[in-house]
Structure 1
Amino acid sequence: MAAPSQLVGHTLGHYCILDRIGAGGMGVVYRAYDTRLDRDVVVKVLPQGALLDHKARKRFRKEAIALAKLNHPNIATIYDFDTQDETDFLVMEYVAGTTLTEMLRAGALSEKQTCAIGEQAAKALDCAHVTGLVHRDFKPGNIMISPTGHVKLLDFGISVLLKSGPQLVETRTASAFHELAGTLPYMSPEQLLGEPVDGRCDIFAVGSVLYEVATGQLPFNARTLPGLIDEILHKPAVSPKTINHRLSPGLTTIILKCLEKDPDNRYQSAKEIAVDLRHVATDGVYLAPVRTEQPYVRRRRALSIFTVAMIAFFVLLSVFTVGRWRAHIIGRTAVSHITSLAVLPLENLSADPAQEYFTEGMTEELINALAKISSLRVISRTSVMQYKGVHKPLPQIARELGVDDIVAGSVANFSPTKRVRITVQLVDAATDRNVWSQSYERDLADVFALQDQVARNIAMQIRVQLTPQEKLRLENTGSVNSEAHEAYLKGRYHWSKGTAEQLRQAKTYFGQAVEIDPKYAPAYVGLADYYWATDELPPRVAYPKARQYVMKALALDNTLADAHTTLGAIQFYDDWDWSSAEQEFKRAIDLNPSHAEAHKMYSVFLSSLGRLDEAIAEIGTAQALDPRALSPSATAGWTFNYARQYDRAIEQCRKSLELDPQSVAAHDCLGDAYLGKGAYEQAIAECRVVAGGSSDDPLRLVGLGTAYALAGRRAEAEEVLAKLQAASKGHYVPPYLFSIIHAALGNKNQAFSWLEKAYDEHDAYLTRLKVDDAMDPLRSDPRFSELLHRMRL
């Protein structure tokens, strides 16, 4: 067995020792991995000889079990005590966050923060005190604050465990050290004098900590140890309000009452402190009886210079031997190397089904906030919404989505008060363990700031490093008109349904949002997307409106990734401005690295330029971000077709059909892949599925007409052409589609005639000219190269 100070790489029980964190008079502390429960823990190896025999270990175990039963959300838990090869060790919770000591290096905190920290700590102390346990070492170094402000008390009862019982063999110095285990500035008079203590000694320490948090200074701060001891025993603390004039009378009184020399004159329970701090924090009113600030002079036996010097000596020992190992608690959550997560649909707690639009909207916006972080892959809305109302084990969902962690939670929209409450929890997908949770409540006007705060906190929990630009994006979120925002969320809700009627409803709500707040940029993006996607208006009418609205959105807020994606699409399909389009797609991805649609559109763009290796990589990213969505999956199939990788295309199309067996896009792509391989009968079968046995949608006939032509079934191909021609008299049919069938039939002149018409009309389908295998029969013709040159392809 290795020496206690050299255990890294060894195991104690089922704990694998990872690294040494610190050491002190009470042992050596390690970070370790619990191989049974798959979590990081703290292992504290006790000093050799601290427990001499089985009887001593039995007593220690009994007391450790008592401490382990101390179950409170604000107290770090003791998990286990064990012995291996005469090495005794405690196993404790590994806590995430920053110590209060570290926070105070920047100076005093606000009164609101002081009250919040004090209230949580007091509740934790009260939980322990009612069971007869006293902390004895309450100080900023033993108070951990999570990124969300959650408090955890550390080292509860450790000094008591190590000093109790006659079996413990100590030197005289070590014994005195354990009696003075608390750091001196926070120790109560009775602790310093070696008198019996109860929970009220912790209350004195609470006063010292609150004083320091509120003022940035200690209540007793003499430069010498004897002077410091004298101040704690005999001198009243200067009112904290004389140092920080902004302190309320209520908080001032609470602090001074905690710091009374006589325990009988302090609060008699930590619960009383918590109650009073809550009142001060919520309404500034202090309800407990107010005592005058007269110093309490208690009759004590006189302290000789020798006695004070001895106390100072042993305290000095404690300064150097205690506290160092507390650093084992300093650190982030045990979750590490998290690179992907999914935000599952938040639960609607509003008791109103009509609020589903708001709940879905909050889910999407939280996804978007997290997606701003480049080192994190966040699954897109389309994929996660498929799990709404689905009761599957979270590890299974995580496997299906290919993520490390799951974010779940709930939303309550209190419409009359215009307040929103969101509760989120971070779950380790592998173990189904709740890593972190927090509730937030804000005005609806501050909902964007709320979402960004949640994103920042999650990033801190999973150890994701934010770039300076990402920090800025997650901090510079302004307020929003709540009515405009609700109208926008209703628009997004209808937009997600995808039918023509739902898209019209979405347009109506987006219009309402900009009427309510003409400066609300996201709603203009919604309008732009409607006009870009609609087939109810001809492109020459719809596209200028889409451009107008997206430019308005970007003029108001140029950090909207959706807007840059839409503008990129317009510049790509309508302007054929390849350079500008690429800049917009890259800008969208820079702003929102997990924007699946931006990655998909950029892939289509790259394919059109013949940069097929890049396109395949980009569509792979889109699929990873939206693994349950059909659109990126189907696009991947077409990308393989353009690369003439037909076997991969067929495989991809079959995956798409697993997502949606009725998918027209997947069958169409599969038919094209079979055509590429010369499997004409299989291609015809797939194209018939697309056509659906009907000519109601002439666009769905193009693949079938092409398959008939290549299979030598000319009459049937010309029949399809006739149907398309007839349909074009009452409905816009892109000219490029006619050229495809003519090319397959060998009608080169007609094919080029339709291509010229497509060029004149800026037909969006013409952007695929360079890579479309349907154009292969025309590539040897000089007219084809000349057309590519005109398009700058």
Structure 2
Amino acid sequence: MASTQRTGGEPHPMLGQLLGHYRIQEKIGAGGMGVVYRAHDEHLDRDVALKVLPAGTLADEAARKRFRKEALALAKLDHPNIEGVHDFDTQNGTDFLVMEYIPGVTLSDRVSAGPLPEKEILKLGTQLAEGLAAAHEQNIVHRDLKPGNLRITPDGRLKILDFGLAKLVRPFSDAGMTASVTETHAVSGTLPYMAPEQLQGAPVDPRTDIYAVGTVLYEMATGRLPFQEKLSTNLADAILHKPAPPPGRLKPDISPRLEQIILKCLEKEPENRYQSAKEMLMDLRRLSAPISMPAEKPATQARPRWQLATAISAIVVVALLAIVLGLNVGGWRDRLLGRADRATIRSLAVLPLENLSRDPEQEYFADGMTEAVITELSKIRALKVISRTSVMQYRGTRKPLPQIAKELNVDGVVEGSVLREGDLVRITVQLIHAPSDAHLWAESYQRELRGILALQSEVARAIAKEIQINVSPQEQVRLTRARRVDPDAYEAYLKGRYHWNKRTEVGYRKSLDYFQLAIEKDPSYALAYAGMADAYNLLGRYSVAPKEGFPLAKTAAKKALEIDETLAEAHTSLAFAQQRYDWDWSGAEKEFKRAIELNPGYATGHHWYALYFSPLGRHEEAIAEIERARELDPLSLIINTNVAWVYWLARQYDRAIGQFRKTVEMDPSFGLAHERLGLAYEQKGMYEEATAAFRKAMALLGDNTEVVAALGHALGVAGRRDDAQKVLVELQRLSTRKYVSSYDVAVVYLGLGDKGQALTWLEKACQERAGGLLYAKVDPRLDPLRSDPRFQDLLRRMNFPQ
């Protein structure tokens, strides 16, 4: 709907006619891209807008086919600030688009009466940026933004009209857009809003639309365009070469911050403008947020020394009080001020920060910054913060924030962007109260990369202050403690975490290379040692002989804690290795407790602590911890799988089956969930279902020996002894080229009923500290051995607490 300005004159010959099943009711606008009518959809009983394209725009059926394909792509733009495209059709040679009918007035109508109040400019500008951001995420650029293409509904909602039509219509018409920009009539109503690169015929991108937004904001703020030249040749020259006059010269009451936003949009070079509509949106929202009044300027006359000393003491007290109230340490702000929260936020999701560098190779940096902010906020016990695994699934999503918040069960969302340019980092974040979609706060920060750790803490403190959460004095100390880090070391650490988070053997090994590089660049970088410990732990659990992983994990974790005892990650890694390799149960529990004390929101800490309790038979505690981990990381496949695993170890098989099935529904390609679902089926006597689940897991995981052994046990118990014997042969074959746990071999012999061989292989498993042996006390497959003295002696050597 290019415009919905009603036109006078004689009745139009199209009125009352049917185009398809749309009856034309009135002409409501016209422009270079066609005539617009209000029509009634006689199938769906609703009013729509029909844009009838100029005759000859689409020369043949091939052109119509291309146009339809692109028009239907526009139809996928579903946003409350963008006019919806419903359909494209042809009747008797007349081509027309069917679009959402939007009552109201155009922004042209509003600004024709003069400048708008700043509050209204910000309200409309924010909606315009929101719509653009949604379209740009789908790689759709408007190309023809102007007040005539912006409509304001009776309830104050701004709608962007004709989205993408400049691209759709002009390629099919005879006259090229850029070829005729100096011809007065060819650019009527459009030239004043065109960016310099658009005038020069250069490729356009989202920053072209941002220039147009600057022109629209300028016009709303001042009542006139930035450039007033009458001839189009002179106007084009001004856009290309002259700086826009600051709007404050024309309207002195414009705030400096709004003027700054407008002029940044109007930069001649795209690189100097906002790099995305989302970045511009954050500045508009930050300006819309209430700001505190500046302190009264102190008198400059000299004072007696005693008065000066008193004043300094008062300043110190006020400063300390400001810190306590600002961070709500101990909840004192709420108690002293008795202030009602503007929006209660006790749970939070930090969505993936947008990478503004336009370099896909920099995604690891944006991911690392996201994870770092999550980690800092997780240190606050009173705040539930969703973990990295779950939030990363929303990268590039078009879901509304209230829907995301509902899926993650949070009431607050943080979103933003990060841009790295050399050794400078700029991060912009905003806080949204998700149920109401109210934007509470936004801020931008720029620091040298060397001070990145302090920046992450600063962002977390600012968010904690805005949501008015209680921060204990100990948490306050942890949030303000940050050291400088070598930029190359930090970059290597982020790359290491990026590969570690892939959760594959190749990923773990590659992460070790980067963690080692980080340590070489900065030998006192504790996080790099903690990352190394995590990598060695999971290699020792899933990929290599335990003796090749766990001792190295312990060494790295202890080194990390020598440097920084407050690292929850390092305490968790040390506990994992102590439990699984040393069978030091009391030492491991001490480390898990310290980790959770330091970072109550660390999902991995709760996850691994649950797997500490289960082997001991402390099932209620295990269930409580694993469900807390899921609350913090609700979309994590491994945590959801291990929720069911903990149920299975507690012999709650029906409950386990239900949860395993839910995890499989989350991602049918997650092999571990299929394998453990098979274990649950087996304990229920559902052998056919069990073997099918195991074979599905094998198809997904390859020659995973734990899965192969599980299949062998089930086949043996089901009486298929020959098939079970073949599994033993397969494990023998695999052992010639990779580590095969002796525990896995013992499990197959138990399925065959051969207790002697099972005990022989369990003894070997004990010597090698095999991972599966950790569950010897509770694994139901080992029940036939529980009365055997040799098995009881093995359990004693594993140091299980009595």
TM-score bracket for this pair, using the shorter chain length: 0.5 to 0.7
> Residues 760-779 of structure 1 correspond to what in structure 2 (within 5 A)?
760-779=767-786
Q: Structure 2 vs 1, CA of residues 412 and 776 (structure 1 numbering), >3 Å: closer, same or farther?
A: same
Instruction: Give yes or no for contact 1:744–1:777 (8 Å, CA) kept in 2.
Output: no
Asked if 1:576 is matched to 2:579, the reply is no
Q: CA deviation at 1:660?
A: 1.2
Q: Structure 2 vs 1, CA of residues 693 and 767 (structure 1 numbering), >3 Å: closer, same or farther?
A: closer
For 1:351 and 1:737, locate their aligned partners in 2 and report how far apart those are by CA, in whole Å: 48
TM-score (norm 2): 0.59
Q: Structure 2 vs 1, CA of residues 785 and 504 (structure 1 numbering), >3 Å: closer, same or farther?
A: closer
Which of the numbers 496, 509, 516 marks the counterpart of 2:514? 509
* Residue in structure 2 matched with residue 71 of structure 1 by the alignment: 119
* Residue in structure 2 matched with residue 335 of structure 1 by the alignment: 343
Q: CA deviation at 1:539?
A: 2.7
> Residues 181-580 of structure 1 correspond to what in structure 2 (within 5 A)?
210-212=296-298, 218=299, 331=339, 333-336=341-344, 338-415=345-422, 418-534=423-539, 537-580=544-587
For 2:288 and 2:600, locate their aligned partners in 1 and report how far apart those are by CA, in whole Å: 28
- The DSSP-based 3-state class of the residue aligned with 1:71 is helix
Which of the numbers 612, 616, 641 marks the counterpart of 1:634? 641
Q: Structure 2 vs 1, CA of residues 512 and 328 (structure 1 numbering), >3 Å: closer, same or farther?
A: closer
* Residue in structure 2 matched with residue 178 of structure 1 by the alignment: none
Could you give the per-residue CA deviations for residues 197-249 of structure 1, whole angstroms, max 9, x where no partner exists? xxxxxxxxx9xx5432xxxxx57xxxxxxxxxxxxxxxxx669999989xxxx
- The DSSP-based 3-state class of the residue aligned with 1:442 is strand
Instruction: Give yes or no for contact 2:544–2:739 (8 Å, CA) kept in 1.
Output: no
Q: CA deviation at 1:398?
A: 0.8
For 2:513 and 2:302, locate their aligned partners in 1 and report how far apart those are by CA, in whole Å: 64
Q: CA deviation at 1:639?
A: 0.8
For 1:69 and 1:148, locate their aligned partners in 2 and report how far apart those are by CA, in whole Å: 14
Instruction: Give yes or no for contact 1:560–1:588 (8 Å, CA) kept in 2.
Output: yes
* Residue in structure 1 matched with residue 668 of structure 2 by the alignment: 661
Q: CA deviation at 1:696?
A: 3.8
Which of the numbers 602, 605, 614 marks the counterpart of 2:609? 602
- The DSSP-based 3-state class of the residue aligned with 1:211 is coil
For 2:291 and 2:122, locate their aligned partners in 1 and report how far apart those are by CA, in whole Å: 4
For 1:636 and 1:772, locate their aligned partners in 2 and report how far apart those are by CA, in whole Å: 16
Instruction: Give yes or no for contact 1:691–1:701 (8 Å, CA) kept in 2.
Output: yes
Read off the aligned partner of 1:383 and give its amino acid letter: S
- The DSSP-based 3-state class of the residue aligned with 2:480 is coil
Which of the numbers 667, 679, 701 marks the counterpart of 1:672? 679
Instruction: Give yes or no for contact 1:148–1:457 (8 Å, CA) kept in 2.
Output: no
For 2:386 and 2:303, locate their aligned partners in 1 and report how far apart those are by CA, in whole Å: 54
Instruction: Give yes or no for contact 1:211–1:240 (8 Å, CA) kept in 2.
Output: no
Read off the aligned partner of 1:606 and give its amino acid letter: F
Q: Structure 2 vs 1, CA of residues 153 and 504 (structure 1 numbering), >3 Å: closer, same or farther?
A: closer
* Residue in structure 2 matched with residue 644 of structure 1 by the alignment: 651
Asked if 1:683 is matched to 2:690, the reply is yes
For 1:694 and 1:559, locate their aligned partners in 2 and report how far apart those are by CA, in whole Å: 37
Could you give the per-residue CA deviations for residues 450-487 of structure 1, whole angstroms, max 9, x where no partner exists? 11111112112222101111000011212222221111
Q: What are the ranges of 5 or more consecutive residues in structure 2 without an aligned counterpart?
A: 1-115, 124-250, 257-285, 310-334
For 1:522 and 1:653, locate their aligned partners in 2 and report how far apart those are by CA, in whole Å: 34
Read off the aligned partner of 2:712 and give its amino acid letter: G
* Residue in structure 2 matched with residue 152 of structure 1 by the alignment: 291
Read off the aligned partner of 2:499 and give its amino acid letter: H
* Residue in structure 2 matched with residue 9 of structure 1 by the alignment: none
Asked if 1:724 is matched to 2:731, the reply is yes
Q: Structure 2 vs 1, CA of residues 544 and 244 (structure 1 numbering), >3 Å: closer, same or farther?
A: same
Read off the aligned partner of 2:559 and give its amino acid letter: K
Q: Identity percentage over the alignment?
A: 47
Read off the aligned partner of 1:402 and give its amino acid letter: N
Q: CA deviation at 1:693?
A: 9.9
Read off the aligned partner of 1:563 and give its amino acid letter: A
Read off the aligned partner of 1:481 and give its amino acid letter: D
- The DSSP-based 3-state class of the residue aligned with 2:799 is coil
Instruction: Give yes or no for contact 1:599–1:622 (8 Å, CA) kept in 2.
Output: yes
* Residue in structure 2 matched with residue 745 of structure 1 by the alignment: 752
Q: CA deviation at 1:635?
A: 0.7
For 1:539 and 1:675, locate their aligned partners in 2 and report how far apart those are by CA, in whole Å: 28
Q: CA deviation at 1:150?
A: 8.5
- The DSSP-based 3-state class of the residue aligned with 2:429 is strand
* Residue in structure 2 matched with residue 255 of structure 1 by the alignment: none
Higher relative contact order (CA 8 A, sep 6+): 1
For 1:541 and 1:692, locate their aligned partners in 2 and report how far apart those are by CA, in whole Å: 28
For 2:392 and 2:538, locate their aligned partners in 1 and report how far apart those are by CA, in whole Å: 22
- The DSSP-based 3-state class of the residue aligned with 2:291 is strand
For 2:406 and 2:547, locate their aligned partners in 1 and report how far apart those are by CA, in whole Å: 45
Read off the aligned partner of 2:403 and give its amino acid letter: Q
Q: CA deviation at 1:351?
A: 3.2
> Residues 46-61 of structure 1 correspond to what in structure 2 (within 5 A)?
none
Q: Structure 2 vs 1, CA of residues 638 and 694 (structure 1 numbering), >3 Å: closer, same or farther?
A: closer
Could you give the per-residue CA deviations for residues 580-618 of structure 1, whole angstroms, max 9, x where no partner exists? 111111111111111111111100110011100100111
Q: CA deviation at 1:328?
A: 13
For 2:337 and 2:288, locate their aligned partners in 1 and report how far apart those are by CA, in whole Å: 16
For 1:457 and 1:654, locate their aligned partners in 2 and report how far apart those are by CA, in whole Å: 41
Could you give the per-residue CA deviations for residues 355-398 of structure 1, whole angstroms, max 9, x where no partner exists? 21111110000000001111111111111111111111111111
Instruction: Give yes or no for contact 1:74–1:151 (8 Å, CA) kept in 2.
Output: no
Q: What are the ranges of 5 or more consecutive residues in structure 1 without an aligned counterpart?
A: 1-67, 76-123, 130-146, 155-205, 213-217, 220-236, 246-326
Q: Structure 2 vs 1, CA of residues 72 and 210 (structure 1 numbering), >3 Å: closer, same or farther?
A: farther
For 1:549 and 1:640, locate their aligned partners in 2 and report how far apart those are by CA, in whole Å: 33
For 1:74 and 1:474, locate their aligned partners in 2 and report how far apart those are by CA, in whole Å: 34
Instruction: Give yes or no for contact 1:414–1:420 (8 Å, CA) kept in 2.
Output: yes
Q: Structure 2 vs 1, CA of residues 491 and 781 (structure 1 numbering), >3 Å: closer, same or farther?
A: same
Task: Indicate the larger mover: 384-393 or 730-739.
Answer: 730-739
Q: Structure 2 vs 1, CA of residues 564 and 425 (structure 1 numbering), >3 Å: closer, same or farther?
A: same
For 2:543 and 2:675, locate their aligned partners in 1 and report how far apart those are by CA, in whole Å: 23
Could you give the per-residue CA deviations for residues 124-146 of structure 1, whole angstroms, max 9, x where no partner exists? 994599xxxxxxxxxxxxxxxxx
Instruction: Give yes or no for contact 2:546–2:768 (8 Å, CA) kept in 1.
Output: no
- The DSSP-based 3-state class of the residue aligned with 2:349 is strand
Asked if 1:618 is matched to 2:625, the reply is yes
* Residue in structure 2 matched with residue 787 of structure 1 by the alignment: 794
For 1:388 and 1:679, locate their aligned partners in 2 and report how far apart those are by CA, in whole Å: 40
For 2:563 and 2:436, locate their aligned partners in 1 and report how far apart those are by CA, in whole Å: 44
Return the index of the structure with the highest Cα Rg.
Answer: 1
For 1:343 and 1:621, locate their aligned partners in 2 and report how far apart those are by CA, in whole Å: 18
Instruction: Give yes or no for contact 1:423–1:437 (8 Å, CA) kept in 2.
Output: yes
Read off the aligned partner of 2:619 and give its amino acid letter: L
Q: CA deviation at 1:73?
A: 11
Read off the aligned partner of 2:764 and give its amino acid letter: K
Instruction: Give yes or no for contact 1:691–1:704 (8 Å, CA) kept in 2.
Output: no
Instruction: Give yes or no for contact 2:554–2:578 (8 Å, CA) kept in 1.
Output: no
Q: Structure 2 vs 1, CA of residues 459 and 655 (structure 1 numbering), >3 Å: closer, same or farther?
A: same
Read off the aligned partner of 1:424 and give its amino acid letter: V
For 1:565 and 1:712, locate their aligned partners in 2 and report how far apart those are by CA, in whole Å: 43
Instruction: Give yes or no for contact 2:122–2:288 (8 Å, CA) kept in 1.
Output: no
Number of residue equivalences: 504
CA RMSD between the two structures = 3.4
Q: CA deviation at 1:517?
A: 0.8
For 1:329 and 1:789, locate their aligned partners in 2 and report how far apart those are by CA, in whole Å: 59
